[in-house]
Each structure stands twice: as structure tokens, then as C-alpha cells.
Amino acid sequence: MPDTQMRGSVVFLTLYDICEEICLPEVREILRVQPPGREPSFKHPAPEYVRFERPPVVEGLDEFTLAAGEKVRGRIKYYDYGVAVVELVLAFEGGWQLLIDLSSRYAGGLEIERQASQVAKQRVARVARALSKPYDNWLSEDYFIFHITEIEGHPTAAEVCLHHQSQIARIVRGESAPLSDAERNEVLQSAMSYYPEDLVVIGWNGAFLYDTAAGGETTIQLLEYANSQLLEFRYYDEVLTRRLRQVYQSLDRGTGFFARWRLARAAARLYTLLLDVTELTERADNSIKFLSDMFSARLYRLAASKVGVPDYKELVDRKLRTADNLYRFMVEQFNQARAFALEVLVVVILIVELGALFWPLHAK
């Protein structure tokens, strides 16, 4: 039986956490690009209700060729909360087996990661003056999306799911061999449709998307945003882990009188970090609004849960609570030390005054 023919593209997303904040107006000035009109373009007109608070700056990339000979086009995006995204797009035309082969070849592969890393380093260097507190080491996340815009026979989403369950599951998982029934069903539980002719199946490292070019842009943008959130919470988790380790080491050195005085400085640094992380997480959380587009909100929540955003967010929240408790403990220890010092000082002053009062009598 001949393989069903399809047309579409593979979208490779590689995200980097490059700094604490990016000044988007300055990036636009450096790159000489105009602010976007509407972004993203959602399923139905709702530009006033579903929008980015600060749309990313987008810069086009020159087309280049991969080792296997495939030509790739792309672009890089800069988000105000310190994330740069390299998006590489590989067009394809063929059957299901071609998609499975491409998925198993590039899912977790190093070639795309190397190409994206080179592009990111070159492009970010050009906008270096727009970066606030750039990081020496970049955390990264990668995600791939098989975006099919046309399938032979124009089947509906339900027909695609019914007749090609095994292929979709293998593409989402990046596996060349057939999956078990349980794993296939687990993958297909994350399927969503808005119209009868569109379909998205979301996995933790890849997604299958059947939609028009314009409709697919919305889903790709939301998947990209969910992965950028994951990257941010991973970074906050690492920062809090390092700072909490330092605090525990300070406490291990003892809580004697002089050690308690040193805790005041450590407590101030910890509280500053608490404020910074809270501000950054709120800004990242609130950078996109889904106030009226319920489908987009549900799609984002599904994507976020699949890539692990809620898990890392819970880790960060838990460490923030731990840090807050440690801050209160250190402040209490410092206050006790200060109160003790004041008491000692009062006693010393009293002894000096009594000595001054009775010394003349003793001298007589």
C-alpha cells in the first residue's frame, strides 16, 4: 500500500537563557527592525484580549545546509525576560515513513544543537549592549515540531488520529520502532483540536501539528513560550539551590555571638535574591495574556504540563518558601545577638556610672 503523501516542515526550537533582562527597544534599534503589529495571530480574532505584553524581537537568518544536504531557514527571537530562541525550519514533502525517519534522526541529535549554538553566539554578540547582567554559562532547552500543512485526501483531525495513531506516537517520541499500546495511548491523550481540520499532539520534547500555515503559527508560538517558561524556572531553581547551599554553610559555621552578627549580611543578600526571583518569575508568568481565548489558554496549560513547567515552578516556589523561612530565622538570630549586645552595653554603662559615683567616697 503506497504511503500517504504530505507536505509541511519540521520546526526545531533551541532556547537559551542568556541574561537577566533584554532591552527590546535597544535590540530593535541595533537590528533596525520595526515593532510587530499583532503577535501572535490566534485562531480567531482577539488581538485586544490575547497578546504578548512585550512581543519578542524577531531577526531573520540566512538559509544554510545541514550535513545531510537539507536546506534550513530560520530566525532568532529575543524575549525581554532574558531568553533567546533559535528557530530552524526544514521543509519536507513525503510520506509517514519520511516523518518517522526525520524524527528519529533529529530528536535529541547534536547537529541541530551545534548549528543553533553557533547562530545564537554570533547573533547575541551583536546585541550585547542590550543585555542586562549577561550569563557566562547559558542554560538551554530544545523542542521539535512536525508541522503538516497538507495531507493527501484532506482528512479531518479525527481521521488522522484514527488511522495513524502509531505513526503520530513515534514521531512525537522520536522513535523509529513501534511503541507499545500503553505508550501510544499516553501520547494521544495530549491531542487537541479547535476546528475539525486541525490537530496538535504534544509530547515532552516534540509535537505533531496538523494545521494551516497561519493556524500553526499560533500553536508553535505557544509551544515556544511554554519551553521558555521551563527554561526560566530551571534557571531560578539552580540559582536558589546555590544560594541556599551557601546559607546552610553559613549556619553550619555556628550560631555563636559573632556568627550571629555575620548572619545579618547573609540574610540581606538572601532577601535581595528573594525579591529578584519573585519579580522575574512574575514578569515571565505575566508576559502573555489569555484573558478571553480559552482554547489558547488550555493549549498553553497542556503544553506547559507536558514539558514540565508546573513541576519546576513548584520546585522554585518550595525553595522560595524555604529561603523565606531561613531569612526570618537569620534575622531572629541577629536580633537576639543585638539585644544581648545592648544588654551587655547597658550593664557596662551602669557599672561605669556606679564606679564614678562611689569612687570619690572610696578615695576619701
Q: What is the pLDDT of residues 50-89, one digit of tens each?
A: 567 778 999 999 888 877 778 899 999 999 989 999 999 9
pLDDT band (50, 70, 90) for residue 46: very low
Q: For the residues 270-274, what does the mean pLDDT come to?
A: 75
Q: How confident is the model at residue 321 (pLDDT cuts 50, 70, 90)?
A: confident
Specify the range with the lowest mean pLDDT, choosing from 41-50, 246-255, 354-363: 41-50
Residue 207's pLDDT band (cuts 50, 70, 90): very high
Q: Is the pLDDT of residue 26 over 80?
A: yes
How many helical (H) and strand (E) elements, i.e. helices and strands, does the chain have?
10, 10
Burial of residue 359, with CB atoms counted within 10 A of its CB: 0-12 exposed, 13-18 middle, 19 or more buried: exposed
Q: Are strands 131-151 and 206-210 parallel, antiparallel or unpaired?
A: parallel
Q: Where are the domains of the chain?
A: 6-212, 227-354
Q: Give the model's pLDDT for residue 327.
A: 72
Distance linking the first and last C-alpha atoms of the chain: 123
* Residue reference for cell 547573609: 266
pLDDT at position 190 over 60 = yes
C-alpha span between 8 and 5 (Å, rounded): 10
pTM as predicted: 0.83
Distance CA 233, CA 224 (A): 15
Residue found by looking up cell 534575622 in the block: 331
pLDDT band at 202; cut points 50, 70, 90? very high
Q: How far apart are alpha carbons 10 and 87 in whole angstroms? A: 10
Position 261 scores a pLDDT of: 54
For residue 50, the SS3 value is strand
1-5, 108-112, 134-138, 266-270 — most confident range: 134-138
- What is the distance between the alpha carbons of residues 157 and 187, in angstroms, rounded to a whole number? 15
- In degrees and rounded to multiples of 5, residue 71 shows phi and psi of -90, 135
